[in-house]
Amino acid sequence: MPDPSEPLRDTLLRAGVAPVHVRRYLRELSEHFSDLVGEEREAGKSPTEAEAAARARLGGDEALAGAMLAQPSLRSWTGRAPLATLVIAPILLVVLAWVLACLGIIFLIGWPADPNNLNPRPAWVPPEWLPRTWQPPIGTAVLDLVQFGGPILVGSWVALLAARQRSRLIWPLLGCVAVALFGASLFWHAHWPAVDPRDPLHRLSFGLSMGFRGDHMSDHHHSFSFAVWSQSLPMGAFNLAVAGAVYWWARRRQLAA
Amino acid sequence: MAEATFMNGVPELLVLRCLRDREMYGYELVQEIRDRTGAVVTLGEGVVYPLLHALERKGALQSRRKSVQGRSRVYYSITPKGAERLTGLSGTWSSLAGAIQQVMQGEAHAGPV
């Protein structure tokens, strides 16, 4: 049997009302309806008459939706600014994931000691403690994990957010394509400290590039190559497929509920 | 339509005033307003909730879920910020009602021309 509150839920979500307020509103309306039915029954009406009277007193879907839409403060950011929430913010989140991964690595291995003291250790960073032979494999593993996992997580988050809000398909589509391609095209690289601390090029550094790959210390002068960039397309397609699957799953779950 | 415009702000005033005395849930609040105004003001039974949610977002109300006689309800109560808002709205309403009353009395005194 279809949920009688589904048309109202759909109208409110599509109009941008925050899902949390929609859920609460429908629950309170259902409780109110039970109280009204009880009152009408006490007044001597039959169950059918009581339900009809309660429904009339509660108000039609149009009036109930209108009252909610008249309160702009109850709208979600996804409803108010879908371009910012579902397209721009996710791209920034991918960059933020890179920043967090770099900071995480610095905290994980500690601040590399510098015999020339050109880069003194900030007080908030622990001193280097992980042996230098371990730093590249562990650091690269963290970087790779976030580089490949970040866009997948962000894309899935966009898909879930859009499905929850029942946003127009164009927004999650744009957001997921942008995150999938941007995330896959970015090449995250790091230069690890040399095992010999007397090596002049022993500093730890991180880089972010698009369209070329290789050791950034020697290839930093390389220009953008479409051929190299296009190698990231399969990864972008994979990111998009995961986000699409998440969106499809979330919508299917809503329709089944 | 004219009546709706005239009633702007009245539901908020009545909700805050009723909740100043005690916490209530939506159904109770609608009945309370109907009883206290002698059924002159009747809020739409279902449309009171968006107002309650908006007032809660503004910090004028707070809510908590409470079970009474086996039934779970969201109870609303006024906050200090809501009490302050009520004072402001009451003042505005009193001066408006006084001014309208004055005009109406003047009309009655003037008599037919």
- What is the C-alpha to C-alpha distance for residues A174 and A172, in angstroms, rounded to an integer? 5
Contact A29 B71 (CB under 8 A): no
Chain A positions touching B54 (Cβ under 8 A) are: 71, 73-74
**Measured distance CA(B52)–CA(B75) in Å, rounded:** 10
pTM, 2 dp = 0.78
Task: Please give the structure tokens belonging to residue A173.
Answer: 């589509």
- Name the β-bridge partners of A78: none
In this predicted structure, what is the pLDDT of residue A15? Answer: 94
Higher pLDDT, A222 or B79: B79
pLDDT per residue of chain A (257 residues) written in tens, 0 to 9: 456 788 999 999 999 999 999 999 999 999 999 999 999 999 889 999 999 999 999 988 999 999 999 999 999 999 999 999 999 999 999 999 989 998 888 888 888 777 666 777 788 888 888 888 888 888 889 888 988 899 999 999 999 999 999 999 999 999 999 999 888 888 887 888 777 766 666 677 888 777 665 554 455 556 677 777 788 888 889 999 999 999 999 999 888 87
State residue A89's pLDDT score.
96
Band of residue B1 on the pLDDT scale cut at 50, 70, 90? very low
Contact A59/B at CB under 8 A = yes
Would you say A20 and A28 are in contact if contact means Cβ atoms under 8 Å apart? no
3 state DSSP class of A208: strand
Helix (H, G, I), strand (E, B) or coil at A140: helix
Q: Other C-beta atoms within 10 Å of B41: how many?
A: 13
Report the percent of chain B where pLDDT is more than 70: 88
Residue B50 to residue A67, Cβ atoms within 8 A: yes
Helix %, strand %, coil % for chain B, to 5? 60, 15, 25
Q: Give the C-alpha separation, B16 to B54, whole Å.
A: 12
Taking each continuous run of H as one helix and of E as one strand, the counts in chain B are 5, 3
CB-CB: which of A21, A63, A66 is closest to B53? A21
Kindly indicate whether the ipTM for this predicted assembly is greater than 0.90, answering yes or no: no
Q: Do the chains contact at A71 and B51, CB–CB below 8 Å?
A: yes
The distance in angstroms from the start CA to the end CA of chain A is 11
- For A114, residues 6+ apart whose C-beta sits below 8 A from its C-beta are A120, A202, A203
Q: What is the pLDDT of residue B5?
A: 54
In chain B the first and final C-alpha atoms are separated, in Å, by 31
d(Cα A180, Cα A242) in Å, to the nearest integer? 10
What residues have CB less than 8 Å from B70, skipping those under 6 apart? none
Q: Which residues of B touch A21 (CB under 8 A)?
A: 53
- β-pairing verdict for B71-78 and A186-191: unpaired
Max Cα separation, chain A? 94
Mean pLDDT to the nearest integer, B39-57: 87
Q: Give the model's pLDDT for residue B88.
A: 92
Between A and B, how many CB-CB pairs are < 8 A? 61
Contacts of B53 in chain A (CB under 8 A): 21, 24-25, 71, 74
State the number of CA atoms in the 13 A half-sphere of A111 facing the CB. 13
What is B60-106 written as a DSSP string? Answer: SEEEEEEEETTEEEEEEEE-HHHHHHHHHHHHHHHHHHHHHHHHHHH
User: Residue A51 CB: number of other CB atoms within 10 A?
Assistant: 16
Rounded Cα gap, residues A254 and A249, in angstroms: 9
pLDDT of residue A227: 78
Q: What is the pLDDT of residue B2?
A: 44
